[in-house]
Structure 1
Amino acid sequence: MSSAQRSVWQIQRDVIYALLVREMKTRFGKWRLGYAWVLIEPSLHVLVLVAVFSLAGREFYPGVPTALFMLGGIAPFLFFSNCFNRGLAAVESNRGLFNYRQLRPFDAVLSRVCLEFVISLATLTVLMVIFAWFGISTNFNNFLLLVIVNVLFFCFCLGLSLALCVVGVKFPELAKLSPIIIRPLYFLSGVFFSLEQIPKEYHFYLVWNPLLHVIELTREGLFVNYQGMFGSLAYLGLSSVTMLAFGLLCYRANWRDLVTSR
């Protein structure tokens, strides 16, 4: 079927698929293990952190093994962190492709977020299975909650990445501030703690962070013994819709500049 006969959605699907394949080859094709590195890279990251905190010999949350508790926080945060960094570089990394009429910066951002989303879910699933194989498991809680949280989180990260792709082109020097933003969030988003373990006088400041709600709700969906009493699905939904709208508006106002800037 020629491009003239294909629908807009078919063209969009083929563009995203081609960008996904290109992204995977660029990132993982140079490794001897090939596409297996898609799972190995983030899994090693998670396993090292889980091992460090497991060897500390303390139980982070009653009824939830330390390895699973850490995994429920690290996996979502890695998805956010990778979307943040790759959103900043999405336009410059694919600039040569924008000479093709069918391809726009939006497609480059969407393909990167989709790839990170799939990697995040696959890593979480594979490591849960591996831990269960070694006897580290707990009762599963709420699959529907997990689906809703992940859909909202995807929308949040897509909106953020769209806004950041504009920032990465118009203010490239700000990309150097990325570690300054990511590192504090690593310790303020509940990766290593549950909000109910933090003194109540600090809750007012911490609950403004949407990432904390993602991690709290993810653990609540994964583990039946996790209370998750401070995770708000309504706040996460509002944050995700707002961020997606903001990202789309930023992109809409600047997309022609993204294509022509040098």
Structure 2
Amino acid sequence: MDSTLQRSAWQIQRDVIHALLVREMKTRFGKWRLGYAWMLLEPTMHILVLAAVFSFMGREFYPGIPTMLFMLGGIAPFLFFSHCFGKSLAAVESNRGLFNYRQLRPFDAVLARVLMEFAIYLFSMVALLVILAWFGVSATFNDFLLLVVVNLLYLGFCLGLGLALCVAGERFPEAAKFAPMIQRPLYFMSGVFFSLEQIPEEYHPYLAWNPLLHVVELTREGLFASYHGHFANLPYFAFCALGMLGFGLMVYRSQWRDLVRSR
């Protein structure tokens, strides 16, 4: 009997995701001269620009944490969100020809893109922490378990968001034009270059609705022992992450057949 007929559904799914990941990596980095170095160059350029601005102001941004490390704790998580947002909108259209294969569905395309961005996010975060430490820019590490929990929840949040956006991007192609209008304000409202404790408390109830702000605050709390993330709320973010994942799965389940059939 042909060995392919003996494969389980899990093995088929694993092979499909692996093939999509390889395809996404080649598409994402293969056409650029810088190639895979762009994984580190993109967050590095953000960090250098922000660090230069605050160095010009002549002060350390957060006591006990070098400015470059502080910025890394905000930029790396936000870039993961930003890339998932943009790529999920185009996930169906970019992979439409592959849906002729019975084993492959839009869910696989979104999952592969989110997993790839998550791997890039973790790699760039760890690599830049090591590089900065090698140059003498370091801070006392705090809580590895908190980082694991936050990032697993964050992965679920972005997967749910990606599933909902892949449906929105197919149903409403013009939605891609509004993506920058949504992401830019979030860049300034998600704690990428500030700490919530540095903002007057009367604004906290409004900013605290933003789940990305809690991701950044909790990430910095897990990374740096001297960071006091008293305003971060892990239960609230867990609720947002599970709610977004459930919402994304529900929207996708109700529309996936139409996504495959649409041309």
| TM bin (shorter chain) | over 0.9
CA distance in 1, matches of 2:244, 2:221: 23
1:236 aligns with 2:237: yes
Residue in structure 2 matched with residue 210 of structure 1 by the alignment: 211
- 1:156-212 residue CA offsets vs partner (Å, 9 max, x unmatched): 000000000000000111211101100000000111111111111111100000000
Decide whether aligned partners of structure 1 residues 121 and 31 sit closer, same or farther in structure 2, where only a CA change above 3 A counts: same
Aligned to 1:10: 11
TM-aligned CA deviation for residue 49 of structure 1: 3.7
1:74 aligns to 2:108 (yes or no): no
Pairing 1:99-178 to 2, within 5 Å after superposition: 99-178=100-179
- How much has 1:60 moved relative to structure 2? 1.6
Q: For residues 191 and 117 of structure 2, what CA distance do their matches in structure 1 show? A: 21
Query: Compared with structure 1, are the counterparts of its residues 60 and 252 closer, same or farther at alpha carbon in structure 2 (3 Å cutoff)?
Result: same
CA distance in 2, matches of 1:82, 1:231: 24
C-alpha spacing 1:250/1:134, structure 2 compared with 1 (3 Å): same
CA distance in 1, matches of 2:125, 2:25: 19
Distance 1:241 1:175, change over 3 A: same
Q: Which runs of 5+ in 1 are unaligned?
A: none
Gaps of 5+ in 2: none
Name the residue aligned to 1:247. Answer: 248
Alpha-carbon separation, structure 2, partners of 1:197 and 1:17: 44
Q: Distance in 1 between matches of 2:35 and 2:209?
A: 40
Moved over 4 A (4+): none
Q: What secondary structure does 2:141 align onto? A: coil
Distance 1:56 1:111 in 2: 42
CA RMSD of aligned residues (A): 1.4
The CA distance in 2 between the partners of 1:223 and 1:188, in whole Å, is 21
More divergent stretch after superposition (57-66 vs 250-259): 57-66
Alpha carbons 2:43, 2:75 under 8 Å: kept = no
Q: How has the CA–CA distance of structure 1 residues 183 and 34 changed in structure 2, closer, same or farther, with 3 Å as cutoff?
A: closer
Number of residue equivalences: 262
Match for residue 186 of structure 2?
Answer: 185
- How far is the alpha carbon of 1:133 from its aligned partner? 1.2
The Cα shift of 1:33 comes to 4.2
Kept in 1, the 8 Å contact 2:43–2:72? The answer is no
Task: State the SS of the aligned residue for 1:228.
Answer: coil
Offset from partner CA, 1:61-117 (integer Å, 9 cap, x none): 111111111110000000000000011011101001000000000000000000000
TM-score (norm 2): 0.96
Give the C-alpha shift of residue 137 in structure 1.
0.6
SS of the aligned residue for 1:3 comes to helix
